[in-house]
A = this chain, B = another copy of it.
Amino acid sequence: MATIDRVLQRIDDGLEDSLSRLFDLLRIRSISTDPAFAGDCRNAAEWLAGELSGIGIPSEVRNTTGHPMVVGHAANGQAGPHALFYGHYDVQPVDPLDLWDADPFDPRIVTRDDGSRMIVARGACDDKGQLMTFVEAARAWMAENGALPLPISVLIEGEEESGSPSLEAFLTDNREELSVDFALICDTGMWDRNTPAITTMLRGMVSEEIVITAADKDLHSGLFGGAARNPNRVLARIIADLHDADGRIMVPGFYDGVAEMPADITAMWSELGFDEKAFLGGVGLSEPAGEAGRSVLEQIWTRPTCDVNGMSGGYTGEGFKTVIPSQASAKISFRLVGEQDPVAIRDSFRDFVSARVPADCAVAFTGFGCNPAVQLPMDSDTLRKGRAALTDEWGRPAAIIGIGGSIPIAGDFKTMLGMDSLMIGFGLDDDQIHSPNEKYDLQSFHKGIRSWARVLDQLAR
């Protein structure tokens, strides 16, 4: 019997124990954003360091200015590439509590009408359930084989749900220790319940607030209307100028670094059976509104965007007030893809706006973020091996997918530590992460553990 088959058998036999350990972790109220739960966060870190050390990945709790990190290494001179596994032990707050069917920190199995079984608790999926698929896979490898098939380091964060305020400094301070060949991240989803996926594209983002100021006070439109500059109108004109009639973004140089996807990838996407009408219909829309001639998946995974997330000026309460406001403001964000340079785009955007600010108006900019897109090379060996492992486990090809949003850690690993990330996860669209009654499919947990065992096996070849 091949080693991997024995490891998989051990995983199957030990599933109840794996579940029991996950439940122990789920009972810890590690809500990172609320200082009242700081002790719980530390407890979660210590529990994880203990588990990892216990299975043969010596780990310790490292203090930060916020919640601690867990760092471990099992890199005892094996051959093969060295991988850093990342997950996070902190969870979202649970309010509104009255929408939960039971205590969010008292995990339980709920069996659905179709016989499928769900782990229900805060963090069941995001990210305790997900990170434990890796830990349990490593445990089975260690137990069966006395060692992992390749050098592994582990970094478990405790502030992912509250903006990771300590992460950048921690990566900087421990750059040498944490810079290995690539990262493994378990915080993403499957294509559907039976189709595994590897997330290879994350859009980056430039976020800017602009404030246009005209007069130094709000004016009465009866007295000044017709003579005074109206910043609402100035702002609307700038926003309107940002796109042409075909939906292309008019900021100079914006599309530098945006490449077309390889034909085999877009062909694969068209075979995934993505239901555009259902996706848009679910929120009351019927037509993709983005760049003409692109599928919805292309629009949200592979194309950069410009959206106005907020816009405000003048009187916006009940009724009517004939004011010419002094100021108008907008929060504008750009989702980036491929090799787009966020700093160049921010600068070009600011120039674009400034050039449209007329006499007697001033504009002020506040940056809220400037992060590049993350893209795992399509010809990467790591990607090929990960895909093979998942395809073996699930009996169908793993989808190569994107996420329209960002996973900041993948960008940080790339820009700060020079590492690509292999993002594999087993979350499903209906897992209700961040919401009441968060769940994780027991199949995701079980086959997720098996998947990681196969991924480790593949990566070591």
Number of chain A residues close to chain B: CB under 8 A: 79
Instruction: Report chain B residues within 8 Å CB of A223.
Output: 300, 404-405
Contact A217 B331 (CB under 8 A): no
Instruction: Verify A216–B284 contact, CB threshold 8 A.
Output: yes
Q: Decide if the interface of chain A is mainly helix, strand, loop or mixed.
A: mixed
Across the interface, A228 reaches (CB within 8 A) one of B203, B240, B285, namely B285
Asked if B308 contacts A314 (CB within 8 A), the reply is yes
Q: A267 contacts the other chain (Cβ, under 8 Å)?
A: no
Q: In the docked arrangement, what's the CA distance between A236 and B236, Å? A: 4
A17 to B229, CA, bound (A): 48
Bound-state CA distance A320–B313 (Å) is: 17
Is A175 interfacial (CB 8 A cutoff)?
Answer: no
- Give chain A interface residues in 374-416, CB to chain B under 8 Å: 403-406
By the criterion CB–CB under 8 Å, are A300 and B207 in contact? no
CB distance from A342 to the nearest CB of B (A): 15
Contact status B315-A331, CB under 8 Å? yes
Interface residue A14 (Cβ < 8 Å from any Cβ of B):
no
A299 at the interface (CB under 8 A from B): yes
The distance in angstroms between the C-alpha atoms of A230 and B299, with both chains bound, is 14
Q: A324 touching B300 by the CB < 8 A rule?
A: no
Of all chain B residues, the one with the shortest Cβ separation from A214 is B285
Compute how far the CA of A456 lies from the CA of B270 in the bound complex, rounded to whole angstroms: 86
Contact B316 A232, beta carbon cutoff 8 Å: no
A368 and B233 contact, CB distance less than 8 A: no
Q: Check: A63 CB closer than 8 A to any chain B CB.
A: no
Task: Check A357 for interface membership: any CB of B closer than 8 A.
Answer: no
Q: A328 within 8 Å of B by Cβ?
A: yes
Q: In the bound complex, what is the Cα–Cα distance between A296 and B225 (angstroms)?
A: 10
Stretch from A25-33, A178-186, A287-295, A447-455 at the B interface = A287-295
**Which 9 A-B pairs rank lowest in CB-CB distance, beginning with the nearest?**
A222-B405, A216-B284, A236-B239, A240-B240, A232-B308, A226-B299, A310-B314, A229-B289, A312-B316
Q: Which residues of A contact B (CB under 8 A)?
A: 203, 205, 207, 209, 214-217, 219-230, 232-233, 235-237, 239-243, 279-280, 283-291, 296, 299-300, 303-305, 307-316, 319-325, 328-331, 333, 335, 358-360, 368-369, 403-406
